[in-house]
Amino acid sequence: LRTMRIKMVLGVPSKSFHKLNFKKWLFVHQGWNTMPKEHIVERYLKTCEYLGVVYDQQGLDFYFKADTELPTRFQKQLPAKFAVYAIGGTYATKKMPSHKIEELLGKTTMPVVLIGDDKDKLVAEQFTHLPNVINACGMLTIAQSALLIQHSAFVVAHDTGMMHIAAALKKKVISIWGNTVPEFGMWPLFPSALQQNFDIRAEVDGLGCRPCSKLGFNQCPKRHFYCMELQNTDEIAEKLV
């Protein structure tokens, strides 16, 4: 409504992005998926088509400042080949619980660097007894975390901003989905030539309660949290090679 008022006052030709909130509501509350099979970025750009904007099929971009670098003390810890796991998430129902993260980390021999904010740092400290784990949570800026991703072999992430940064840097992403679903249009977006091989998803299919929100909750509304508790960590670990 606020945008509509601005458009009316300006009195010039314009278009607005349709959030499809009713279709999202139907998906969440009725289980009816009527969402378009296209990424939200493509939908954004279609809003601007009348201005001559055309999607180039090259995915997202991420740019570094020239002086972005990792802390020297941290660089010395990095092995030649490693994966990054962005363990955070805005909502609890978007993140695997600690015991599932530990289960996954314990099933791979590849060195894994954990990234996240200060809140994630305490969680990550639970896993530092594992020989292949390096805890970088709370130690890096967003740009430094992105630089770390750029040097990594794989990225594991929940449905978060770091998942999209990894896609922008053209890194293979193993995305772990809980109460939200890619069908909302927010899967990792790669150039068309890379999408099939670089977009690797871990989901628990067949749950009638999923998606339970377009965003997330502080705890599972059903209390069982099957969408994360039933994640197959063996299959995820097999992809970390």
Question: pLDDT tier at 13 (50, 70, 90 boundaries)?
Answer: confident
**Res 151 pLDDT > 80:** yes
Q: Which residues pair with 84 in a beta bridge?
A: 113, 155
Give the C-alpha separation, 89 to 31, whole Å: 24
Mean pLDDT of 48-61: 93
Who's near 16: CB < 8 A, 6+ residues apart?
3, 4, 7, 47
Mean pLDDT over 49-63 rounds to: 94
Q: Which residue has the tokens 């068309």?
A: 192
Between CA 28 and CA 35 the distance in angstroms is: 11
Query: What own/partner pairs with CB < 8 Å and gap ≥ 24 does 185-191 have?
Result: 185/35, 185/36, 185/38, 185/39, 185/40, 185/43, 186/39, 186/40, 186/159, 187/39, 188/163, 188/164, 189/39, 189/41, 189/59, 189/60, 189/164, 190/59, 191/57, 191/58, 191/59
Type of residue numbered 125: E
Is residue 241 pLDDT above 80, yes or no? Answer: no
- SS3 call for 142: helix
**pLDDT attached to residue 187:** 97
Segment 164-177 mean pLDDT: 97
Residue 181 has pLDDT above 90, yes or no: yes
CB neighbours of residue 183 within 10 Å = 15
Average pLDDT of span 202-206:
95
Place of tokens 């097999």: 238
Neighbour-count burial for 12-30, b at 16+ CB within 10 Å, e otherwise: eeeeeeeebeebbeebbee
pTM for this prediction: 0.92
What average pLDDT does the chain have?
A: 94
CB hemisphere CA count around 207 (13 angstroms): 22
Residue 126 identity (one-letter amino acid): Q
Residue 4 has pLDDT above 90, yes or no: no
Question: Residue 8: is its pLDDT beyond 80?
Answer: yes
- Confidence check: pLDDT of 74 > 90: no
For residue 95, pLDDT beyond 80? yes
pLDDT at 191 over 80: yes
What pLDDT score was predicted for residue 15? 85
